[in-house]
Every structure is written in C-alpha cells, then in structure tokens.
Amino acid sequence: MRTVVIFAAGSRGDVQPCLALGRALARRGDTVRILASVRYRRLIAEAGLDLHPLPVDPVEIIESAEGQELLAGRRNPVAFVRRMDRVMRPRMMAMLEETQAGAKGADLVLAPTFGFLGLHLSQYLQVPHAVIHFQPSQPTKVFPHPFAPAARMLGGVGNRLSFGAVDLGSWTVFRRFVNTWRRESLGLPALSLAAPFRQVRRAPVLCAFSPAVVPRPFDWGPNVHVTGFWHHDQPLWEPSPRLLAFLADGPPPVYVGFGSMRTGDPAATDALVRTALRRANLRGVLPGDPGTSEDDILVIGDTPHDWLFPRMAAVVHHGGAGTTASALRAGRPSLVCPFFGDQPYWAARVHELGAGPAPLPVRQLTVDALVQRLHALTRHAAHAEAARRLGRVLEAEDGVARACRVLDRFGAGPA
C-alpha cells in the first residue's frame, strides 16, 4: 500500500479529475491525500479521500480586484506574469509550507507543473513523482502551448519553444519563493533558472485528456501517457423535484455557465444571457441563486455535470478542461466563451472537431453575438452529430484506469 499525495490547488475543474484518479487509487488499496482549497472539503469527503487544506482559494482570487486585473492582462504575456506575481506574492510562502506539511509520509507525489512542486517534494521526500497535465503542456513541434497560440506563426520550432517560454514565465514568478522554501524548509539547494526543466521533462507525465480530442504528437517521448479524461461521476446524487419538473415541462434546455470565471459585471452578463436565450426561443438552465428562476429559465445550485449535461440540448461554457470534457462526453454540442489561459485552446478544439460553432470570447459577448451563436449551436445538425459521435468515443474510454496502470510502476501498486 502506498500513500499517494495529489496536489490540486486550482479550481473545481482541476480538483474533480484528481478526485476521480484518487478514488480509483484508493479502491486499489492506496491511501490518497488531496492538497486543495478548503472550499472543496465536502466534495473531497464525498469521494472518500483525505484533504490537507491549502491557504489558497482560487475562486476568491478570481473574484477579487487583483484577480480581475489578472484576467484583464491575459492577452499580454508580460502583463499577465507581472500581475500573477502580484496575486501570488502574499500567498505563496504559506501555500508552500502547507504543501510540505500535506506531503508528509508520501510514497508518490502527483502534481502539475505549477512551481515544479512535484519535483521539489520528490527531492525532499526521496520518492518518485509524476506530472499531471490537464491541457497539452508537453513540448512539441505540432502545436504551440495553449497559453501561447501566436507561436504557431513561427512553425514547428516556434511551437516547441513556446512551451519553454510559458514554463519559464511561470518559474520566473515562483522561483524566488520556491528557492527560499527549498533552502530554509526543505534543506535543498536553490535551483537555477534552467535546472527544473531538465529534470521535469524526464519525469513520467499523465495527460488527463483524450487522444480523440488531442491526438498524440509524434515527438512526445515514452514517458508521456495520454490516458483519456478523468471523469469524476457522482452516481448517488439526486436531482430536486423542481429540476425534474422543469426538464419534463418542455424541450431540452440549453445550459449556460462559466464555472469559477467572473465577468466585470455579473448581473449585466446574467441579463444578457437571459435576453439572448429568449430571443433564440430557447429554454435555459443557469447556475446561481434558484430564487432568480423564471418560467423559461431555471437557476440551479451545485449540480453534477455528468448528470445534467446529457439532459441538455447544448452547453454554453467557459472552456475549462473539465467542463469541456463533460460536455463532449455527454455528446452535446458546445459553444465556448473563453476567458483566458487554456480556455481558447479548448474552444478551438471543440470547433475544429465539429462539436460546436466558432468560439465567442467573453470580451466579445453581446446579445446579438450570443443569439447568432445559439442559432448555430442548436440548429446545425452537423454539430449535434459530431458531438454525438465524439461522445460515444469518450464514453468508451477509461482514462482513470489507464492512469492507474501507469502509476502501478511506482511503489507497491495495487494491494
């Protein structure tokens, strides 16, 4: 039996795939500890896993003034790095100390490339680590890093260099905090600007997405495993009578929700969405305060996507990796309204796969633009058929099982 520690400091879309993997590892005999925001305490407990809380709340950050500034700089890499530094500076050392405490006793560490935390913990504990990618972040000549799409104009060499550039920008923000932590808390030497890249690139990599959505590039090495998406199903969840009645009372509605993303004026965005749905003659399901429901629009609280999306006519979302995976697996066409980060990448993939119309970036969101896209989303049979075909492929995949088989090579494996 191993103790597996999974670092999941991001939004719910980052946490849920880790819970899917953690739950499967626990069923195979491992003890699994999730390092995440206390915001997800109930979700983690329901999965039967242990939580070590981190003093970082990604939703709180996004909703803060500094978080909105961060989003405002998303199109300018220099501004984005500068604002990321401002966001993380007051939080980083406390998070690193709690990460160290939460990893105590680990036999295996799983983490994304955020600050290369998996590498540092691996060196400190003298245990193996594997990298988790929720988007294609491994260098390749085939396409650029999802955060640097403009590099495509420079061809294969530019594509490959974009991955190092993105990681270097992130490491530049975190390096001074991490090196202080390494010296003073972990008893490890500081790392140069280039040192982590050589070591992390050789580590096992679990790509938590489907080869049907992101075909494996020819130049990824044998240490890179494209497992398929990690879906966190909640089969015991029960819908409310109100939700069931709304679904039974008319044609399938369209879900519109942007996850943990926030616009500058949420009330105005909500009004815009409702107006567009009515002009498109569509019923809607929106996340939020159920007390704001109307005859043709149901507003719901926390509802698992694996239950909800198959019952929708279509899904409008922000393009987070987890929400994109859920919509595609449900076999429903998607309109993606990306905010920042990897969301434009997933938006483009949905469109390229034929499973939805051209993306509508949130900064271009107007009633007229949304009505036009809603018509394309719900009236073009080709989108629905492409989504159905892809959904059947994704439903047949078992990305979690494949990831578990890869991880069996480390430590004791299943009991």
Q: Could you tell me if residue 202 is inside a domain?
A: yes
Average pLDDT of span 213-241: 95
pLDDT digits 0-9 by tens, 9-36:
888 889 999 999 999 999 999 999 999 9
| 367 and 402, same domain (yes or no) | no
Residues 203 and 145 grouped into a single domain:
yes
Q: Is 265 contained in some domain?
A: yes
**Structural domain total, the chain:** 2
CB 60, CB 32: distance < 8 Å: no
Name the residue range of residue 351's domain. 241-396
Q: Is the pTM of this model over 0.85?
A: yes
Does a structural domain hold residue 234?
A: no
- Residue 287: closest CA among 342, 243, 328: 243
- Tell whether 273 and 349 lie within a shared domain: yes
- Domain of 134, CATH number, reads 3.40.50.2000
- 189 and 210 together in one domain: yes
Residue 86 covered by a domain = no
- Over residues 260-289, the pLDDT tens digits come to 888 889 999 999 999 999 999 999 999 999
pLDDT at 412 over 50: no
Q: Is 249 helix (H, G, I), strand (E, B) or coil?
A: coil
Lowest mean pLDDT among 48-52, 145-149, 352-356, 396-400: 145-149
Rounded mean pLDDT, 149-173: 93
* Rounded Cα distance, 45 and 171, in Å: 32
Output the DSSP codes for 120-182.
HHHHHHT--EEEEESS--S--SSS--TT-GGGGGGHHHHHHHHHHHHHHHHHHHHHHHHHHHI
